[in-house]
């Protein structure tokens, strides 16, 4: 009986680890978004995460919310410096997220300033 319980626990542990690895490393899509950077904030009670938002038009429905992993120090600093300016974001979309990574499934990996013409 102990052997059966041990096997079940081992299988459950492998499945759980597999799920966490899949959610963290597998990306659903990658892409770019452009707009005016209207918000970058460090928020949360238990887990402090970096969250931001760009406006891609006039209405609320044209806002793009994103997260930035805490290890992306350069991206976070660039976003802080470019608030209120036109930016182009490179992001990856995950299937899901964890509370300690961010509020959204969209994670910015690069940011660059754009110039309106």
Report the predicted TM-score, pTM, of the whole model to 2 decimal places.
Answer: 0.81
Domains of the chain: 28-113 (2.40.50.140)
Q: Is 78 helix (H, G, I), strand (E, B) or coil?
A: helix
**Any residues with CB less than 8 A from the CB of 39 and at least 6 apart, and which?**
51, 52, 53, 83
pLDDT one digit per residue (tens) for the chain, 117 residues: 888 999 999 999 999 999 989 888 888 899 999 999 999 999 988 889 999 999 987 776 789 999 999 888 999 999 999 998 999 999 999 988 888 888 899 999 999 998 765
* Closest listed residue to residue 104, CA positions, set 90, 113, 94, 112: 94
Query: Which own/partner contact pairs does 23-26 have at CB distance under 8 Å and 24+ positions apart?
Result: 23/94, 23/95, 23/96, 23/97, 23/98, 24/94, 24/98, 24/101, 26/94, 26/95
């Amino acid at each position: 009986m102990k052997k059966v319980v041990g096997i079940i626990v081992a299988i459950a542990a492998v499945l759980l680890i597999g799920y966490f690895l899949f959610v963290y490393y597998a990306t659903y899509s990658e892409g770019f978004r452009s707009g005016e950077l209207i918000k970058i904030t460090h928020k949360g009670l238990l887990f402090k995460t970096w969250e931001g938002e760009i406006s891609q038009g006039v209405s609320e429905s044209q806002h793009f919310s994103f997260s930035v992993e805490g290890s992306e120090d350069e991206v976070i600093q660039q976003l802080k410096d470019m608030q209120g300016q036109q930016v182009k974001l490179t992001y990856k979309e995950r299937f899901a997220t964890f509370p300690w990574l961010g509020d959204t499934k969209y994670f910015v990996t690069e940011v660059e300033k754009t110039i309106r013409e």
